[in-house]
Structure 1
Amino acid sequence: MTRDMQSRLGPRIGWSQVTPRADYLNRRQLMAGAVGLGLAGLAGPAAAKLTYIPSKYSTTETPNTLEEITGYNNFYEFGTDKSDPKNYSGQFQPEPWTVEIGGMVDRPGTWGLDDILKDVTLEERIYRLRCVEAWSMVIPWIGFPLKTLLDKAGVQPGAKFVAFETVMRPEEMPGQRARWIEWPYREGLRLDEAMHPLTILATGLYGDPLPNQNGAPLRLVVPWKYGFKGIKSIVKISLVPQEPKATWKMLQSNEYGFYANVNPKVDHPRWSQATERRIGAGLFGGRQETQMFNGYGEQVADLYKGMDLAKDY
């Protein structure tokens, strides 16, 4: 990592800052020792499936607790309240898991999760998350660049976008029984966004496999975009020549655009995006100013040169 990169990211966050919970503190202290032996992620039975390394792309901000991250989130397949994903995802079965990869790729087919993760180096990416609803968190994801998977599949010339779909299991996901969304949930990225090194597929959280309510076993994380772009429980990835369907744009295109870049200068029609509420900050935590591209502008602003970000929102 260059000195310039380090100066932008700041000093590496210590394991002791990650969570106040004693059990996670103890586990992560063990992991810190294991990193030096090349055994990170093998420090406990719950984490035995994950081997990972720290990432130069991590923020220095203190992550939210596991309880906050798993207990307050949007995953409408399980319901519309923030606690619904935790309360109603217990019957969801994330194993075994396959992902259909198709469209303009050299090697289309159905890939098992083990095949996807074969020869992949997982990293801990401590990222800021900014919800379009003007609240935020800091989350220690475990994952790998989406580019790694797309390179395995072989992107063909002419592909301009990447389309994603969430699994359809209304018997396990009660929110899918509602008719207000055209299921399955869909999202997409422009190809250069998908290939950017900050864009990852997450398979874990706090060193363990993803909980059901956070998108098990495979979800998209794009830290400079609003959280609804982070499609969960992915079962289909397609390389396509034109902008794909995106669920929230289909529902309310005047409120939720395809790009969904965090932009404090462009308000949602019903609220300001200039500030955000950090979950866990407490009653007197106040609000903090929202950063352009969620603070990742130095890395991603060049992707949007010449675009009107008030129009291409």
Structure 2
Amino acid sequence: MARKLGWSDVTPKAHWLNRRQILAAAGAMGLAGPAFARIEAKPSRFSTDEKPNTLEEISTYNNFYEFGTDKGDPARHASALTTDPWSVEIAGLVDRPGRYPLDDILKGVALEERIYRLRCVEAWSMVVPWIGFELRSLLDRVGVQPSAKFVAFETLVRPEEMPGQRSPILDWPYREGLRLDEAMHPLTILATGLYGEEMPKQNGAPIRLVVPWKYGFKSIKSIVKISLVEKMPETTWVMQNPREYGFYSNVNPAVDHPRWSQASERRIGSGFFARRIDTQPFNGYAEEVAGLYAGQDLAVDF
């Protein structure tokens, strides 16, 4: 069993920040338990200038199969989830593997507000003001070994609190993965909040991945394990249906899902009969990330 580590093992004490100094007055919604509070974060240069969806829209229309398959199930059932205390195991090809308490992970990180689009493969989208920090800052602190090529993630398995896990609709735990250069890109963040508040449970509390140029199912929620590995890891939706879901899962309007077009999307909150929006390659982040895929056929590596 991995031993529980503190950032004193990897970070000079003078660089620490107490998470409780980052958290201020208690929040109004109470969605993430007793620690739900205001988070101070600086604006990010990576943010879109699009108007964000409302907190109600963001927190009541979710894919989180651990709580059920209906998009309203997470909001109905997630209150039972215990998120404090929380730790994340970091394993594999790293210099300092171990189980790190979330409070220690957050000491010394630079929290930013990043307004990113979240696009689902079912052709709907929303704009979310995430609070988080660059994944690469965590990976740098644990020391990625040269043989590592991919990063694998796993979600919590706790069926007594996550009723969707009592059904074999997926092979639990939920798994996702990124190529190492994708994980180290500055657009890729670990989010711990939205709208200036700690993360609502139904949105992936207390810590989730956000990769804005990929479909939303790549942004794995309620993370308990991060592994650095040499070979491409198995991921849940590739295991479930490889014909429809590829490992890369980049937003590509030129490649249709087998059951619907990806050329346009409907913004949540705009009304079902509102004009659809043209989908942008890489969800609008082509200038920043297209170079990661130079020489790849993205109709094959979908």
1:216-295 equivalences under 5 Å are 216-295=205-284
Segments of structure 1 that go 5 or more residues without pairing to the other structure are: 1-39
Alpha-carbon offset, residue 44 of structure 1: 3.6
Amino acid at match of 2:46: Y
Alpha-carbon offset, residue 115 of structure 1: 1.1
**Cα pair 2:37 2:198 within 8 Å, conserved:** no
**Cα pair 1:41 1:207 within 8 Å, conserved:** no
1:191-210 equivalences under 5 Å are 191-210=180-199
Amino acid at match of 1:253: P
Segments of structure 2 that go 5 or more residues without pairing to the other structure are: 1-20, 28-35
Amino acid at match of 1:245: E
Paired with 1:284 and 1:155, the residues of 2 have a C-alpha distance of 48
Residues 205 and 93 of structure 1, relative CA distance in 2, 3 Å threshold: same
Amino acid at match of 1:45: A
Paired with 2:95 and 2:227, the residues of 1 have a C-alpha distance of 12
1:25-64 equivalences under 5 Å are 44-46=25-27, 48=37, 50-64=39-53
Paired with 2:23 and 2:274, the residues of 1 have a C-alpha distance of 36
Aligned pair count?
A: 274
2:292 paired with 1:303: yes
Paired with 1:283 and 1:79, the residues of 2 have a C-alpha distance of 23
**Cα pair 2:151 2:180 within 8 Å, conserved:** yes
Picking from 145, 150, 170, the partner of 2:159 is 170
Partner of 1:151: 140
Partner of 1:19: none
**Cα pair 2:150 2:231 within 8 Å, conserved:** yes
Paired with 1:86 and 1:49, the residues of 2 have a C-alpha distance of 20
Alpha-carbon offset, residue 283 of structure 1: 4.2
Residues 216 and 282 of structure 1, relative CA distance in 2, 3 Å threshold: same
RMSD over aligned CA atoms reads 1.3
Paired with 2:290 and 2:264, the residues of 1 have a C-alpha distance of 20
Partner of 2:60: 71
Residues 252 and 284 of structure 1, relative CA distance in 2, 3 Å threshold: closer
TM-score, normalising length: structure 1: 0.86
Alpha-carbon offset, residue 258 of structure 1: 0.2
User: What is the percentage of aligned positions where both structures have the same residue?
Assistant: 70
Paired with 1:94 and 1:236, the residues of 2 have a C-alpha distance of 15
**Cα pair 1:71 1:83 within 8 Å, conserved:** yes
The DSSP-based 3-state class of the residue aligned with 1:193 is helix
Alpha-carbon offset, residue 282 of structure 1: 1.9
Greater RCO, CA 8 A, separation 6+ = 2
Alpha-carbon offset, residue 45 of structure 1: 2.4
TM-score, normalising length: structure 2: 0.89
